[in-house]
C-alpha cells in the first residue's frame, strides 16, 4: 500500500488482512510498538518519528526481512508504509527474490492534501489493538474507547500540524518516486482514496482482482 500520510493505507490494509489469509506488515505500527516498549529499536526510531522524518533504510529493511519469515506471512502479506524509498524497494526485491516470493500488486492510494489534513487531525488509534477510528468520519460508539477491544484511544504525536507538513514533504521527495518505479514494473494500480471506507475497500478488492499490465 503506497500513499501519503492519512491516505487510508492502514485502514484498508487492516480490512484486507481480515478478508484474505495474509499478514499485515505496518512498519509504522511496528515502530510505534517498539517506542512504547522502549526497546533499542524504539529508542533509535523515536527521534525520527517525532519529527516526521524517515527511520534509516537499513533499520527498516532488517525488521521487514525478519517479519516476512513469520508463520502468519506464509500464505501472503500486505505491506503498509513500506517501502518508502527507492533503496528500500530495491532491498525488498532482493529479499523476496531470495525467498522465492514476489509482489503481486502495488496499490497507490490517491487523496488530496485538504482531505489528508482533516483525516490526520481527527485520527484516533487504539493503544491496545491498534484499531483506527476518526472523531468525525468513523467515530467510536463511546468517546475515547475502542469499539473493538475497549482499549484507550489516543492521538498520535506525529499528527501535530507542523509534523504533518514535514511528513507530506518527505512523502513527495522520498516516497512518491516509487509510483513510477512500480509502474515501470507493471504492478501498479492507482486507487481513488476519497469516499466512504467501504467503497474504497471495494475499489481495492476490484483492483486486486484485475490483471496486471
Ligand atoms: P506510518 O505509521 O506508516 O505513517 P504514514 O505513512 O504517514 O501513514 P499514516 O499511518 O499516517 O496514514 P494511513 O495512510 O495509514 O491512514 P489511516 O488508515 O491511518 O509512519 C509513521 C512514521 O514511522 C514515519 O513518519 C517514519 O518516521 C516511520 N516509518 C514508518 N515506516 C517507515 C519506513 N518504511 N521507512 C522509514 N521510516 C518509516 O487513516 C487516517 C485517518 O483517516 C484515520 O483516522 C481513519 O479512520 C481515517 N480514514 C481512513 N480512510 C478514510 C475514509 N475513506 N474516509 C474518512 N476517513 C478515513
Domain boundaries, the chain: 9-111+175-207
Catalytic site residue 206?
Answer: no
Strands 132-134 and 23-26: unpaired
Q: Which residues line ligand 1 (CB under 6 A)?
A: 3, 5-11, 27-28, 31, 48-49, 52-55, 60, 81-82, 84, 88, 119, 122-123, 132-134, 137-138, 158, 167, 195, 197, 200
Rounded Cα distance between 104 and 98, Å, is: 16
CATH of domain 9-111+175-207: 3.40.50.300
How many helices (H) and strands (E) are present in the chain, helices listed first?
9, 7
Q: Output the CA–CA distances (angstroms, integers) from residue 55 to 37, 92, 180, 184, in the order listed.
A: 17, 16, 22, 26
Alpha helices in 20-131 (DSSP H): 27-36, 40-50, 57-67, 86-99, 113-122
* Among 67, 119, 124, 167, the one annotated catalytic: 167
* Residue with CA closest to ligand 1 atom 56: 137
**DSSP code per residue over 49-77:** HHTTPPPPHHHHHHHHHHHTTSGGGSS-E
Task: Name the active-site residue from 135, 156, 183, 201.
Answer: 156
Q: Which three cell numbers stand for residue 68?
A: 516476512
Active-site residue, 84 included: yes
3-class SS of residue 154: strand
CA dihedral 16, 132, 147, 30 (to 10 degrees): 80
pLDDT in tens, the chain (213 residues): 999 999 999 999 999 998 888 999 999 999 999 999 999 999 999 999 999 999 999 999 999 999 999 999 999 999 999 999 999 999 999 999 999 999 999 999 999 999 999 999 999 999 999 899 999 999 999 999 999 999 999 999 899 888 999 999 999 999 999 999 999 999 999 999 999 999 999 999 999 886 543
pLDDT of residue 32: 93
pLDDT of residue 213: 38
Amino acid at each position: 500500500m503506497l500513499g501519503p500520510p492519512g491516505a487510508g493505507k492502514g485502514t484498508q490494509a487492516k480490512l484486507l488482512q481480515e478478508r484474505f489469509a495474509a499478514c499485515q506488515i505496518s512498519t509504522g505500527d511496528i515502530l510505534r510498538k517498539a517506542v512504547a516498549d522502549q526497546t533499542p529499536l524504539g529508542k533509535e526510531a523515536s527521534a525520527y518519528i517525532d519529527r516526521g522524518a524517515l527511520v534509516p533504510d537499513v533499520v527498516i529493511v532488517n525488521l521487514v526481512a525478519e517479519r516476512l519469515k513469520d508463520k502468519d506471512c506464509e500464505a501472503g502479506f500486505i505491506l503498509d508504509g513500506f517501502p518508502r524509498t527507492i533503496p528500500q524497494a530495491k532491498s525488498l526485491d532482493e529479499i523476496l527474490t531470495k525467498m522465492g516470493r514476489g509482489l503481486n500488486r502495488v496499490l497507490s492510494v490517491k487523496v488530496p492534501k485538504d482531505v489528508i489534513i482533516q483525516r490526520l487531525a481527527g485520527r484516533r488509534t487504539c493503544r491496545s489493538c491498534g484499531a483506527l477510528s476518526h472523531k468525525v468520519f468513523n467515530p467510536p460508539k463511546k468517546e475515547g474507547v475502542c469499539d473493538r477491544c475497549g482499549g484507550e484511544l489516543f492521538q498520535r504525536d506525529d499528527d501535530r500540524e507542523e509534523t504533518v507538513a514535514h511528513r507530506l514533504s518527505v512523502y513527495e521527495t522520498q516516497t512518491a518516486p516509487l509510483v513510477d518505479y512500480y509502474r515501470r514494473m507493471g504492478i501498479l494500480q492507482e486507487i481513488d482514496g476519497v469516499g466512504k471506507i467501504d467503497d474504497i475497500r471495494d475499489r481495492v478488492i476490484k483492483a486486486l482482482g484485475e490483471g496486471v499490465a
